[in-house]
Amino acid sequence: MPANLRVILPLLVLAALAVVFVIGLQGDPRKLPSVFIDKPAPAFSLPELAEGQPVVTPESLRGKVWLLNVFASWCGACGTEHPHLLEVAQLKRVEMVGLAYKDEPADTRAWLEARGNPYSRIAVDRAGLVGIDYGVYGVPETFVIDAQGIIRYKHVGPVDQDFFRQHVEPLLAKGTS
């Protein structure tokens, strides 16, 4: 191999890798592709955190726009988004279901007691199997599900103040709640 090619070839490879990294870093890491968008929400039947309540199922929410918020007491970022979820709950415009993911019920109860409970229902997913069915990468994640039971949006990471306005209000405005 000629000497000048030995110098140029590694530089070309390095330049190509730099271009790939720059392009990759420009994307929003919260916008992970999901095969579930515009598809029916996976069915599940889980116990409710509040003892003596009926099981939680997506079918019981049919006819309403609702949020499925995957959270856990051991999740630091869940504490970051929690005030925003409380604000959304105060609006009383959308049903919010919590999915206590890989968490002990006693820990979930204590965590909510300390911070407030924005959820109308809380499904206990101790084994994380429903999370797998929904393609959960980690917590927190929030799914926006329309009145027909179709997943319309998946948010990875903590929701912020604009989340409701950007991703829930449009569905409510269509009269699908």
Output the pLDDT for position 69: 98
Other C-beta atoms closer than 10 Å to the C-beta of 12 total 10
d(C-alpha 62, C-alpha 43), whole Å: 12
Residue 103 has pLDDT above 70, yes or no: yes
d(C-alpha 153, C-alpha 171), whole Å: 11
Output the pLDDT for position 7: 73
Residue 29 has pLDDT above 60, yes or no: no
For domain 30-173, give the CATH number.
3.40.30.10
Residue 28 has pLDDT above 70, yes or no: no
SS (H, E, C) 34-89: CCCCCCECCCCCECECCCCCCCECHHHHCCCCEEEEEECCCCHHHHHHHHHHHHHH
- The model's confidence at residue 30, banded by pLDDT at 50, 70 and 90, is very low
Is the four-CA dihedral 100, 151, 129, 140 of positive or negative sign? negative
Of 7-11, 80-84, 137-141, least confident by mean pLDDT is 7-11
Please say whether the beta carbons of 57 and 142 come within 8 A: no
Mean pLDDT of 37-42: 96
How far does the chain reach from its first CA to its final CA, in angstroms?
A: 69
Residue 143 has pLDDT above 80, yes or no: yes
Please say whether the beta carbons of 43 and 59 come within 8 A: yes
Most confident of 1-5, 33-37, 44-48: 44-48
pLDDT over 90 for what percent of the chain?
Answer: 73
pTM over 0.95: no
Q: What is the pLDDT of residues 77-91, one digit of tens each?
A: 999 999 999 999 999
Other C-beta atoms closer than 10 Å to the C-beta of 125 total 25
Mean pLDDT score of the chain, rounded to an integer? 89
Residues 6+ apart with CB under 8 A from 89: 96, 118, 119
d(C-alpha 32, C-alpha 91), whole Å: 28
- The model's confidence at residue 177, banded by pLDDT at 50, 70 and 90, is very low
